[in-house]
Structure 1
Amino acid sequence: MSSGSPLTQDQSRAIRLMGLPFAYALALLAIPLGAVLLFSFWTQDFMTVDTTFTLDNYREVAESPIYGLLLRRSLMVSGLVTLVTVVLAYPVAYFVSFHVAPSKKSLWLFLITIPFWTSYLIRVFLWKVILGYNGVINSGLTQLGLIDEPLTFILYNVNAVIITLAHAFAPFAILPIFVVLEKIDRSLLEASRDLGETKVSTFFWVTLPLSMPGVVGAALIVFIPTIGDYVTPELMGGAGGKLIANMIQTQFLQLNNAPLGAALAIVAMVCVAGISILFVLLNRRWLRRQT
C-alpha cells in the first residue's frame, strides 16, 4: 500500500482498538516519567520552586560522594539479591516442572504464591523478628550451644536487606523460570540421554540453555524493582544499609528538595536501564554462540 492510500477497514479498526490502551499507558507511564524528568531540571528553595532550566542537580549528584556511594551500594545489593534469588528459585522451578506430577503442579504453584497473601510490610517485620538480636535464629543457636552471644551481622545491615528482599521476590523468579521449563520438549532430553550424555551434562548442555529466557526474565523482574525499594532498607538496613531509594524519599519528603530527588531518580533509572539492556544483549550473544 502506498503512503498516500487510505487506511483499510481492518487498519482503522486496529487503530481504534489500540488507541485507548495506548493513551491509557501513556497517561500512566510516560506523563509521570516526563514530569519527573522535567522537575529534575528545576530547583527548589523550601516551598518555592524555580522553573529556570539548570543542570545544578545533576552536577550535585555527580560531585557529591554520598550519592555515588548510595548508588553503587544499591546496584551491588540489587545484583546480589538477583543472584541469590535466581540461584535459589531455579531448583524449585526445576523440581516442580520435572519431578512433580502434572496433576499436582497447580497445587505447588498455589503454595509458592502463599507469601503474597500477607502484606509486604508484615513480611518485612517478620524477618525483623527472625533476624533480631533476640530473634528466632539467635535464640535457637544460643539454646543449641552453637554461639555464646547473639549474632549482630544478620540485622540492621546490608545482609538483612539482601535476605529480606530475596525472600520477598522469590515467587517472581520461580514463576517465569517454571513457565520456560514447562515449554522444553522432553524428547530433546531423551535424545541427549540416548546419545550417551549423563543427567548432569544434559542439564548444562540442553536444559539450562533452553531455560535461559526464563532466567533472564526472572533476573530482570527481580533486579529492576529491588533497586527502587526503600521500605526494606529503611526497616532492616540500619545506618549502613540505606540505599539510593531512601535518599530519594528523604529529598522529596523531608528536605523539601524534590528537584534533586527527581535527578537522583532519573540517574538511578538510567543506570538500571543500561545494566538491564547490557545484560539482555550479552545473553543474546551467549545464546547465539550456543546455537
Structure 2
Amino acid sequence: MTQDSRRGLALVAPPLGYAVALLAGPLLAIFLFSFWTQDYLTIDRTPTLGNYREALSDPIYRTIMLRSLWISATVTIVTVILAFPVAYYVSFRIRPDRKSFWLFLITIPFWTSYLLRIFLWKVILGYNGVMNSGLIGLRIIDEPLTALLYNANAVIITLSHAFAPFAILPIFVALEKIDRALLEAGRDLGESAATTFLRVTLPLAMPGVVAALLIVFIPTVGDYVTPAQVGGSGGQMIANMIQTQFLGLNNAPMGATLAVIAMVLVTIISLATVWLARRLAGGRT
C-alpha cells in the first residue's frame, strides 16, 4: 500500500469501525439471544435450537409471519403500481423548470409526523369517520361499515399512503436517466407508444422500480406502529409479536428468534426480487 492509501485507510477506519459496531453489535446480540432460553429474569445461555423449532412449528407464529409477508407484499405492489404513473407524469409531462416544484409537493407528507398520519387514517376509516359519513350521506350505505378499520385492509391502506413518496422518488430518478432519443428511435422504427413503453421505457426504468420495491417492502415487514394503531387483532404483524415477546411475555430469546427468521425471509425475498428483475430487464439492473 502506498503512503496515501495508508493515510486514507487510517482516516476511514475509525468511523467505519464505529458504524460497523453500531450495526453488527445489535444484530450479533439478537442472533446469540435466539439460541438461549429465558425463565422470567434468568437467562440460560446453553445453546439450543428449541426456539427455532417452536417458532417454525407453532401455527400462531407461522400465521403472523405469513400475514406480515402478505401485507408487506400487497403494500409494495399497490404502492409501486400507483407510484409509477406519478413518477412517469412528472418525468415526461412536466416542464423541466417545474419538476422541482412537483417533487416538493410529493415530499409534503414528510412534513407531518408518521404517527399523526396514522391517526388521520383512523379518523377517515373509523366507524363514525369521514368515509362512513360520506357513504351514508350519498345513500350508498344505510349504516356505518365496520370492515374499514382494525383489520389487514386498514394496515395496507395506511402503509401504502405512508410509503408512496419512497416509491415515487427512485422511479422518477430512473426515468430521468432515460435518453429521450431512444424513445424517438423506437417511434421512428414504427413502434406504438405502448410498445415503446414496454420494450424501452419500462426495462430502462427497472432499476428504479426494483429500488422502490425494496425500499417499501423491507421496512413494512417490520412496521410496528401502523398495525398496533389500525390493525386490530386481524392486522397484527410480526413486529407486534416480537414486541409482545420482549416486553409482554418477558421472553427475549423467542423475540430474537422471530426477528432472525423475519430478517432471513426478507433477505431471501429481496435477493429473489433483484434476481427476477435482472432477468426481466435483461441484466440491466
TM-score (norm 1): 0.95
Counterpart Cα distance in 2 of 1:195 and 1:11 = 51
Match of 2:65 among 61, 65, 71: 71
After the TM superposition, which residues 151-230 of structure 1 pair with which residues of structure 2 at under 5 Å, given as runs? 151-230=145-224
Q: Secondary structure at the match of 2:43?
A: strand
Q: Secondary structure at the match of 1:49?
A: strand
Deviations 1:220-274 (CA, angstroms, capped at 9, x unpaired): 0000000000111111111111111110000011111011000000000000000
1:94 aligns with 2:106: no
8 Å Cα contact 2:278/2:284 also seen in 1: no
Counterpart Cα distance in 1 of 2:11 and 2:174 = 30
After the TM superposition, which residues 1-291 of structure 1 pair with which residues of structure 2 at under 5 Å, given as runs? 7-288=1-282
Fraction of identical pairs, as percent: 67
CA separation of 1:12 and 1:289: change in aligned 2, threshold 3 A: closer
RMSD after superposition:
1.3
Runs of 4+ in 1 over 6 A off after TM superposition: none
Counterpart Cα distance in 2 of 1:172 and 1:253 = 31
Partner letter of residue 256 of structure 2?
A
Deviations 1:55-90 (CA, angstroms, capped at 9, x unpaired): 111111012110000000000000000000000000
Per the TM alignment, residue 18 of structure 1 is displaced from its structure 2 partner at its CA by 2.7
Unaligned runs of 5+ in 2: none
- Which range moved further: 280-289 or 89-98? 280-289
TM-score (norm 2): 0.97
Deviations 1:111-167 (CA, angstroms, capped at 9, x unpaired): 111111111110000000001111111101110111112222221100000000000
Partner letter of residue 100 of structure 1?
I
Per the TM alignment, residue 290 of structure 1 is displaced from its structure 2 partner at its CA by 8.6
Per the TM alignment, residue 11 of structure 1 is displaced from its structure 2 partner at its CA by 2.0
